[in-house]
Amino acid sequence: MRALLLVALASCRFDGAGAAAPDAATPDATDETDAPPQDAGTDADVDGSIGPACIPITAGVDGVLEVPRLPPPTIDGNVADWTACYLPLDEATAGLVRKLDGNAAVPAGRFSVMHDGTNLYLAAVVDGVLPLGNATNVDIYRNDGVVLYVDANGQMLTPGYDPEASQIVVDHAARRHLYRQSNPIGIPVISASVTVTGPTYTVEIMVTPSTYGVAAFAETIGFDVGIDGGTGDVQENEILWHQRCNTATGCQCPNGDDAPYCNAQQFGFAHLVP
Ligand SMILES: [Ca+2]
Ligand SMILES: [Ca+2]
């Protein structure tokens, strides 16, 4: 019941985009949808079928999430209003583990995704590794944070990033930056909020089609989620939900590296269920 404890104990909140001050967290005993996975790492979790009342986000197709259409949550860093299930994201379940410092401990967490017919929403609850880091601006990828990868038209035809693809980092302090093919682009137009207690933080993000310069998301978009670990001085690791292809299967990065941050072809997909 880590989420409930987290909500109850949250000592700091960082709101983004003028979000209204949320109510004090009061776990609702009748609402089971905010329950975290009871046994992270089991097949049931990977299938998205955990949580008796939550709505699964997978349908058994590897690398494609079935993203339910639901009423929009409030972006306040409190995930009690999420009804979609979570997937675990840790070293055991990750599609890609990047250990840039092989000695550093790796964060772990879980994420959920939904849409409302127009916008896309991501929630993540992460057990970070202290220190969480206080790098700023283009260097926030060196902090503990969550990474959202999207290609808004779902077509990743050439190695690298198309104009409608980006990597958005939201760190534990709700700092945010947008990158494309490893190049820092600027502050993304998103709404994001984070609550943090010690090394544990909860992130809610809303992105819109305009975040990617398009009129609407395609029904199937390129999609991936990462959890960054770092000290603020260095990025230590990143674990990613999915890596669709790699050098061995013909899609390495233009810079010779092998990860979604430098080639959107390595993203998975999200099917935004109409
Ligand atoms: Ca919320
Ligand atoms: Ca594209």
Report pLDDT digits (tens) over 79-116.
Answer: 999 999 999 999 999 999 999 999 999 999 999 999 99
pLDDT in tens, 143-160: 999 999 999 999 999 899
Averaged pLDDT of the chain? 85
Question: What pTM was estimated for this model as a whole?
Answer: 0.83
**Does residue 22 surpass a pLDDT of 80?**
no
Share of the chain above pLDDT 90, in %: 77
Q: How far is the CA of 80 from the centre of ligand 1 (A)?
A: 6
CA distances, 76 to each of 31, 80, 197 (Å): 18, 10, 15
What's the confidence (pLDDT) of residue 52? 55
Q: How far is the CA of 138 from the centre of ligand 2 (A)?
A: 24
DSSP string over 78-107: -GGG--B--EEESTTT-SEEEESSTTS---
Q: Which residues have CB atoms below 5 A from the ion given as ligand 2? A: 151, 153, 155, 162
Q: How far is the CA of 232 from the centre of ligand 1 (A)?
A: 27
Q: How many domains would you assign to the chain? A: 1
Q: How far is the CA of 205 from the centre of ligand 1 (A)?
A: 9
**Does residue 221 surpass a pLDDT of 50?**
yes
Q: What is the CA radius of gyration of the chain?
A: 17
**Does residue 134 surpass a pLDDT of 90?**
yes
**Does residue 255 surpass a pLDDT of 60?**
yes
- Give the whole-angstrom CA distance, residue 126 versus residue 199: 8
What's the confidence (pLDDT) of residue 132? 98
Question: Which CATH number do you get for residue 196?
Answer: 2.60.40.1190
pLDDT band at residue 60, thresholds of 50, 70 and 90? confident
What's the whole-number mean pLDDT along residues 244-269? 95
- Domain of residue 43, residue span: 2-272
**Does residue 64 surpass a pLDDT of 80?**
yes
- Which ligand gives the minimal distance to the CA of 83? 1
Q: How far is the CA of 125 from the centre of ligand 2 (A)?
A: 28
